A and B are shown apart, each in its own frame.
Chain A
C-alpha cells in the first residue's frame, strides 16, 4: 500500500513545489523529476509484482490497503492493483513523460499549465490504484476540469465552443455516473448489512437484477460518454483536432483510457447479469462508434483530421471487445488500451513536428507514423481475433448478428 500511495504523493508534491517559483528552469526540473520518480516507482512495482509467486492467475488485489474516510458510512479510500491496473499505470507514466516532452515550448502561464497537468496525472494515478467505486468517481472528477482549463487557455476564441461542448458532455457523463454509483452503493448489501463502495466486497454479493437493470446503463454510459461512445462522440473528433497536441494527448491518452477501464471495472465486472442482458444493444452501439469513426477517417485526407478520429475508433473497439465478456475479449481490450495509450503518446507529437518543420524531416516522420499504424493493425487483429472467434462459437440469431458485427468492425 505504501508503494501505491507514492502515485498520489509525487504529483501532489510537484504541485506544491510549483507554487514556490515560476522560473522556467525550476518548473522543468521539478516536472521531470516527478515524472522520473513515477517511472522508477512503476518499474519497482512491476518487478515486485512479477516476482510475487501469488501473482499468477489470481484475482486478488496486490498492495491493497485502506485509509478510513468516513467509517460510519463505510467509505474508505481503498487502494490495490491487479495486473491490468499495473499495466495501465505504466502506460500513464509513459504518456505523462511524452506530454512533458511535447510541452517544452509553453511559455505564457507555464506554471498554471504544469499545475493542471499534474492535477490530471494525479487524477489518473488515483483512478487506477483505487479499489472502490467512490474514489474512482472522485478521481474521474479531478481529471475532468483540468482538461477543460488547459484546453480553454491554450485555445483561441472560436475553438472554445467545441471545447466547452465536449467538456459539458463529459461532465454529463460524470453526472450520470455519480447517480449510478450512488445506486450501486444503496444496493450493495441486500440483506440490510453495511453498504459499501469497495469493489471486491460488492463483487462477492450479487446485486439484485432489478437494480442492475437500472444502474448498469447509468454507470456504463457514464463512463462510455467520457470514452466517446457513438451518439455522444460527434464533437469528439472536432475537439481533438482543434485542441493543441498536449490536450489531445491528455484527453485521449489518459481520460479515455480511464473511462474504458472504469466501464470494465465498475459496470461489467460488478453487474454481469445486466451486462449480459444488454450486451447485444451495447455491442451494436459500440460497433456504430467504430463505423462512425472509420467513416470519419475515410472522408478526411490530412493527417490532423485522420489522427483526431483514431481515438474514437479505438475506444469503440475496446468497448466492443469488453462487451464480449469473456477472458480473451477483456485481455484484448486491455492490451489495446495500452497500445492506444502508447500510440497516443507518440502520434500527436508527429503532426506538430511536421507543421513546424515543413521540410524534409516531414516525410521521414510521416513514414514513422505510417510504420506505427502498420504495426497497430496486426496488433489489433491479432489480439482481437481470438475473442471474436470465441464469441462466435455459439449458435442462434445472436451469434449470427455477433458475427456480422465482428466482421463489420474488422
Chain B
C-alpha cells in the first residue's frame, strides 16, 4: 500500500478520520456546544475535498474499484448527508439530546462509509460487507434514539427482519457465485451468463435488496410519537441509503449482468409499473406525515426504475441526474417536516393545516418540494422525470413511459391535496410560529435553491455526460 493507493481511496480515508475525530470528541466531556459546530464543519471540508480531481484504479486485487462515476456518486451522497446533518442540528442543540449527539454523528458517518464500500466494491463479497456496514448503524441508531422507552419485541423484530433480508441477499449472491465460480466482478463481466441458476440468483438477490430497504424504512415508521430525530433518521434511510442502493444496483445490472438484460429489463418494467401505481394508491391513503413521505419515496423509486429499464448509458446518466434532483426535493420536504416535528412533535397530515398562516416560508418550501416531487415544471423534479422518460423511450418502451406519465397525474393529485392543506385558512393553527437555527435554515436554503435552479442549470447534465465512465 503506497501513498498513491491512499489517494485512490481518498474519500474513505478522509471519512474514517472524521469518524475517529468524532469518536474522540464524543469521549471528551467538555465543549458540547463546540462539538456541534466542529463535526459538521469538518464534514463540509471533506465534502468539498471530494470534488477535487481524483485518480481511478484497482486496489486489493480487484476487490476495490475507483472510477470517476463512483466519485460523482460519493460526492452526491456526501452532499445529501451534509444537508441532513444541518437539518438535524436544530434538534441536537437541545440540552436533552446532548447524550446522543456524538452517537448520531458517528453512526451516520459509519453508515456512509458502508455506502462508499458498497459503491466501490469489486466483488460480491465486498458488496455484501458494504451493505451490512451501511444498514446496521441505522438499526443501532434507531435503538439508541428511542432509549429505554421502546418495547423489546419491536427491537427484535427490527433486527430479525433485517437479518432475514440479508439472508435472502446472501442466498442470491451465493447462487451467482456457485454458477460462475468467481466473486470478482471483473471475472463475472467476461462470463456469458445464461444458466437458470444465474437468472434465479439475480432475482433472489434483487428481491433481497428491495426487502432490506423496505424492512428498514417500515420498521423506522413503527415508532411512538415525539421520539427524537426520527424524521432525520428516516430521511437518511429513504433518501441517502435508497440513492446509494439505486447507484449500486444500476452499476451491477448495467456492467456486471448485461448478458442477462433480457431477463431483468422485462422484470424491472413490470416492477416499476406496479411500484408506481401501488405507491400512488398508498400515498392517497396516508394520514401520517412520515408514512406519506416513505410512500412518496417508494413512488419516486418506481420512477427511477423507469430510467433503469432503458438499459443504456443514457439511462445511467438520467438516473444519476434524477437522484440529485430527488435528494434536493425530498430533503427539502423532510427538512420542513423535521423542523415541525422536532419542535412540536406533531406528525399527522391534518396538523399541517394552516401552516402558511404561521410559518409562511416553511410551507412555501414544502409546497415547492412537493410540486418538484410531483414533476411540475420549471422545478427540478420535472427535468429529472423527463430524462428518465427519455431514457426509456430511447429503447422504445413508450408504453411504460405513457403509464408512468399518466400516473404522474395521480401523484400530482396526492401531493397537491397535501400541499393544499397547508394553505387552508384554518380557524386555529395546529403549529405555532417558530424560528429555526442558522444551520437548519442553511440546509433549507440549499434545498430551495436546488429545487428552483437545478433544473434550469443544464450544465449539470452536460457534466454527467462528459464524464468518462471509466471501468464501468
- Given A142-B378, A182-B401, check contact A172 B458 (CB 8 Å): no
Q: Name 26 interchain pairs, CB-CB below 8 A, sorted by A.
A: A69-B456, A70-B458, A71-B462, A73-B461, A138-B378, A138-B382, A141-B376, A141-B377, A141-B378, A141-B382, A144-B376, A145-B371, A153-B423, A171-B408, A171-B409, A175-B402, A175-B408, A175-B409, A176-B402, A178-B386, A179-B398, A185-B390, A186-B390, A186-B394, A186-B396, A218-B402
Name the A residues within 8 Å of B423 (CB-CB). 153
Name the A residues within 8 Å of B389 (CB-CB). 178-179, 182
Map CB proximity to A onto B376-391 as digits: 1 under 8 Å, 0 otherwise: 1110001000100110
Is B466 in contact with A72, judged by CB distance below 8 angstroms?
A: yes
Map CB proximity to A onto B416-437 as digits: 1 under 8 Å, 0 otherwise: 1000100100000000000000
Name the A residues within 8 Å of B377 (CB-CB). 137-139, 141-142
Q: A55 at the A/B interface (Cβ < 8 Å)?
A: no
Map CB proximity to A onto B440-462 as digits: 1 under 8 Å, 0 otherwise: 00000000000000001011011
Name the B residues within 8 Å of A61 (CB-CB). none
Name the B residues within 8 Å of A178 (CB-CB). 386, 389, 405
Bound complex: CA of A164 vs CA of B389, how far in Å?
A: 26
* Min distance, Cβ A118 to any Cβ of chain B, angstroms: 14
* Min distance, Cβ B307 to any Cβ of chain A, angstroms: 12
Name the A residues within 8 Å of B394 (CB-CB). 186
Q: A65 at the A/B interface (Cβ < 8 Å)?
A: no
* Min distance, Cβ A103 to any Cβ of chain B, angstroms: 19
Q: B226 at the A/B interface (Cβ < 8 Å)?
A: no
Is B420 in contact with A182, judged by CB distance below 8 angstroms?
A: no
Q: A272 at the A/B interface (Cβ < 8 Å)?
A: no
Bound complex: CA of A137 vs CA of B405, how far in Å?
A: 13
Total contacts A-B at CB 8 Å? 77
Q: A220 at the A/B interface (Cβ < 8 Å)?
A: no
Pick from B376, B405, B462: contact of A179, CB below 8 A: B405
Nearest to A140 among chain B residues (CB) is: B377
Name the A residues within 8 Å of B386 (CB-CB). 178, 182
Q: B157 at the A/B interface (Cβ < 8 Å)?
A: no
Name the B residues within 8 Å of A148 (CB-CB). 416
* Min distance, Cβ B28 to any Cβ of chain A, angstroms: 45
Is A72 in contact with B406, judged by CB distance below 8 angstroms?
A: no
Name the B residues within 8 Å of A139 (CB-CB). 377
Name the B residues within 8 Å of A153 (CB-CB). 423
* Min distance, Cβ B88 to any Cβ of chain A, angstroms: 29
Q: Number of residues in A with C-beta < 8 Å to the partner?
A: 31
Interface majority SS (helix, strand, loop, mixed), chain B: helix
Name the A residues within 8 Å of B405 (CB-CB). 175-176, 178-179
Is B378 in contact with A70, judged by CB distance below 8 angstroms?
A: no
* Min distance, Cβ A112 to any Cβ of chain B, angstroms: 8
Q: B124 at the A/B interface (Cβ < 8 Å)?
A: no
Is B376 in contact with A214, judged by CB distance below 8 angstroms?
A: no
Those of B314-355 within 8 Å (CB) of chain A: none
Bound complex: CA of A144 vs CA of B374, how far in Å?
A: 13
Nearest to A170 among chain B residues (CB) is: B409
Is A68 in contact with B458, judged by CB distance below 8 angstroms?
A: yes
Q: B51 at the A/B interface (Cβ < 8 Å)?
A: no
Name the B residues within 8 Å of A68 (CB-CB). 458
Q: B393 at the A/B interface (Cβ < 8 Å)?
A: yes
Q: A95 at the A/B interface (Cβ < 8 Å)?
A: no
* Min distance, Cβ B29 to any Cβ of chain A, angstroms: 46
| Given A144-B376, A172-B406, A172-B409; 11 other pairs, CB 8 A cutoff | A68-B458, A70-B458, A70-B461, A72-B465, A75-B458, A138-B378, A145-B371, A175-B406, A179-B393, A182-B398, A186-B396
Bound complex: CA of A199 vs CA of B408, how far in Å?
A: 26
- Given A145-B376, A185-B390, A186-B394, check contact A70 B462 (CB 8 Å): yes
Q: B413 at the A/B interface (Cβ < 8 Å)?
A: yes
- Given A70-B462, A176-B402, A178-B405, check contact A168 B393 (CB 8 Å): no
Interface centre among A68, A142, A179 (most CB of B within 10 A): A179
Is A72 in contact with B408, judged by CB distance below 8 angstroms?
A: no
Bound complex: CA of A228 vs CA of B405, how far in Å?
A: 20
Is A168 in contact with B413, judged by CB distance below 8 angstroms?
A: yes
Bound complex: CA of A164 vs CA of B420, how far in Å?
A: 11
Is A214 in contact with B462, judged by CB distance below 8 angstroms?
A: no
7 tightest CB-CB pairs across the interface, nearest first?
Answer: A141-B377, A175-B405, A70-B458, A69-B458, A72-B465, A182-B393, A172-B409
Bound complex: CA of A186 vs CA of B314, how far in Å?
A: 13
Q: B248 at the A/B interface (Cβ < 8 Å)?
A: no
Is B409 in contact with A152, judged by CB distance below 8 angstroms?
A: no
Nearest to B364 among chain A residues (CB) is: A112
Q: B44 at the A/B interface (Cβ < 8 Å)?
A: no
Is B420 in contact with A152, judged by CB distance below 8 angstroms?
A: yes
Name the B residues within 8 Å of A214 (CB-CB). 398
Q: B412 at the A/B interface (Cβ < 8 Å)?
A: yes
Is A72 in contact with B461, judged by CB distance below 8 angstroms?
A: yes
Is B461 in contact with A186, judged by CB distance below 8 angstroms?
A: no
Is A72 in contact with B462, judged by CB distance below 8 angstroms?
A: yes
Q: A183 at the A/B interface (Cβ < 8 Å)?
A: yes
Is B409 in contact with A182, judged by CB distance below 8 angstroms?
A: no
Map CB proximity to B onto A145-167 as digits: 1 under 8 Å, 0 otherwise: 10010001100000000001000
* Min distance, Cβ B339 to any Cβ of chain A, angstroms: 21
Bound complex: CA of A178 vs CA of B381, how far in Å?
A: 14
Map CB proximity to B onto A239-254 as digits: 1 under 8 Å, 0 otherwise: 0000000000000000
Is B401 in contact with A179, judged by CB distance below 8 angstroms?
A: yes
Map CB proximity to A onto B149-187 as digits: 1 under 8 Å, 0 otherwise: 000000000000000000000000000000000000000
Name the B residues within 8 Å of A218 (CB-CB). 402
Name the A residues within 8 Å of B406 (CB-CB). 172, 175-176
Bound complex: CA of A68 vs CA of B458, how far in Å?
A: 8
Nearest to B460 among chain A residues (CB) is: A70
Nearest to B456 among chain A residues (CB) is: A69
* Min distance, Cβ A177 to any Cβ of chain B, angstroms: 9
Bound complex: CA of A171 vs CA of B406, how far in Å?
A: 9
Is A183 in contact with B393, judged by CB distance below 8 angstroms?
A: yes
Bound complex: CA of A343 vs CA of B226, how far in Å?
A: 57
- Given A171-B408, A178-B405, check contact A73 B465 (CB 8 Å): yes
Bound complex: CA of A175 vs CA of B375, how far in Å?
A: 10
Interface centre among A75, A152, A182 (most CB of B within 10 A): A182
Bound complex: CA of A75 vs CA of B459, how far in Å?
A: 11
Is B378 in contact with A182, judged by CB distance below 8 angstroms?
A: no
Name the A residues within 8 Å of B412 (CB-CB). 168, 171
Nearest to A152 among chain B residues (CB) is: B420
Name the B residues within 8 Å of A72 (CB-CB). 461-462, 465-466
Name the B residues within 8 Å of A142 (CB-CB). 377-378
Nearest to B417 among chain A residues (CB) is: A164
* Min distance, Cβ B205 to any Cβ of chain A, angstroms: 32
Bound complex: CA of A241 vs CA of B257, how far in Å?
A: 58
Nearest to B406 among chain A residues (CB) is: A175
Interface centre among A137, A145, A178, A218 (most CB of B within 10 A): A178
* Min distance, Cβ B338 to any Cβ of chain A, angstroms: 26
* Min distance, Cβ B49 to any Cβ of chain A, angstroms: 27
Name the B residues within 8 Å of A186 (CB-CB). 390, 393-394, 396
